[in-house]
Amino acid sequence: MSLLPFLMLPLAFTLMFLGIQVAFSMMITAVLFGLMIFGDNVIYQFIDKIEDISSNFVFAAVPLFVFMGAMLEKSGIADKLFEAIHIWTRRLPGGLALATICMCIIFAASSGVIGATESVVGMLTIPIMLRYKYDKALISGSICAGGSLGTIIPPSVVAVVMGPLANVSVGDLLYGMVFPGLIMASLYLIYIFTLCVIDPSKGARIPPEPGEPAFTEKLWISTRNLLPPLFMIFAVLGSILLGWASPTEAAAIGALASVFLTLLYRRFSWSGLYEALIKTLKITSMIMTVLLAGTLFTGVFIGGGGIATANILISKAHLSPWMLLSLMMFIIFIAGFFLDWISIVLIFVPLFTPLVIAAGFDPVWFLILFLIMIQTSYLTPPMAPAIFYLRAVAPDEITIRDMYRGVTPFIVLQCLTLVIVMIFPVLVTYLPSIMLRF
């Protein structure tokens, strides 16, 4: 039984806390421990891992999904979506916040890129909600929680990265996250509506205005504005769920459709395309660099006997399968306070998945639970990337305290979703089992 691989985690975390970037922290740790465990032969292992990453066609979906998100920022789709949704929710308590969540659901199903969704939706909805004196905590929570739905609503860049690491079909993950994603989004909507019914000062109804469109005109506005993004969702998500295209092929379709949307809304420009390509290059380079570093790290950890030692320790601890699963969820939740999503995925997916399979759990179900816990990492300080995204577009009158206060109820709702999916695994396993019959 070798305990040496377990020293890799404290060293990597220490380097991260010292300010060294995640990718380099994991690479340095992998090289040092690889030389100690394998000697010079670790070079051959590293070459093999690099070849595995570079030849895995599934990862080609990552830049395509990122490009979709970047082009959606340029397309003007947010303005049209907000108009189409808000004309129906404006009379409801918290109608603007409800419309914000609905927009985020559609954006999440369009691209699965979280930063782009939150930035675009935040810039559009914050001024309007402030004008109608919405509670600043509710504004912050709605945008942060809604913007992070791209993790659990397919297509999801996180799922594309997670699948190959766990040796699980990305298609099964996308099928499996449909119902949990809808449950989480529904809980958000129910919470906002209930809160604003109980306390109208949080988000009052908007009074009737002169010249408000008639019912038939509302239908026309909604149809006109919703059809293009719904077509894009069908092109990407529908082609995957119906088995017409792989996630990578669907991402290519979506990337092309996002360009067509900018043309349709007359927002296309060569400078905008250039900016989207540069943004795609930067984000993809970051993701793939961290992905490579994580692969080297886990390769040394597993090769050095880390998984075998963990199995021995767990068997000696006499943990029941459910106790083991609960412990894993707790570790992921705590890690979300300090690490970004890709670090959590790269460190814990290869470590936990074999243990989960050995305990008799469905790996797809476990990975969906993992994704739900990843959701909380977007909202939990001090890392809380969703809050940083919001801070970049929010005015000074919305403070960090408002943001932390606003995201807390949504973290509770995410944990409630986790409990529901843990109690009813069929919510995850039903769609993959049905689709496998075709």
Measured from the Cβ of residue 273, the count of other Cβ atoms closer than 10 Å reads 16
CB under 8 Å to 273, separation ≥6 — which residues? Answer: 71, 74, 259
Distance in Å from the first CA to the final CA of the chain:
45
**What is d(CA 281, CA 260) in angstroms, rounded to the nearest whole number?**
20
Domain enclosing residue 204, as ranges: 4-435
In this structure, the number of other CB atoms found within 10 A of the CB of residue 199 comes to: 14
| The predicted structure's pLDDT at residue 368 | 94
Per-residue pLDDT, 89: 82
* Cα distance between residue 424 and residue 434, in whole Å: 17
Per-residue pLDDT tens over the stretch 319-361? 788 988 988 898 888 877 767 777 788 888 888 888 888 888 9
Q: Residue 151, Cα to own-chain centre: how many angstroms?
A: 2
Please give the pLDDT value at position 424.
94
Tell me what pLDDT residue 372 has: 92
What's the mean pLDDT in 115-134? 79
Considering its fold, how many domains does the chain have in total? 1
* 0.85 surpassed by pTM: no
Q: What pLDDT, on the 0 to 100 scale, is given for residue 438?
A: 45
Interatomic CA distance for residues 25 and 16, integer angstroms: 6
- Letter for the amino acid at 209? E
Give the span between the Cα atoms of 73 and 119, in whole angstroms.
8
Under a CB-based contact definition with an 8 Å cutoff, are residues 335 and 344 in contact? yes
Identify the pLDDT of residue 365. 94
What is the secondary structure of 347-377 as a DSSP string?
HHHHHHHHHHHHTT--HHHHHHHHHHHHHHH
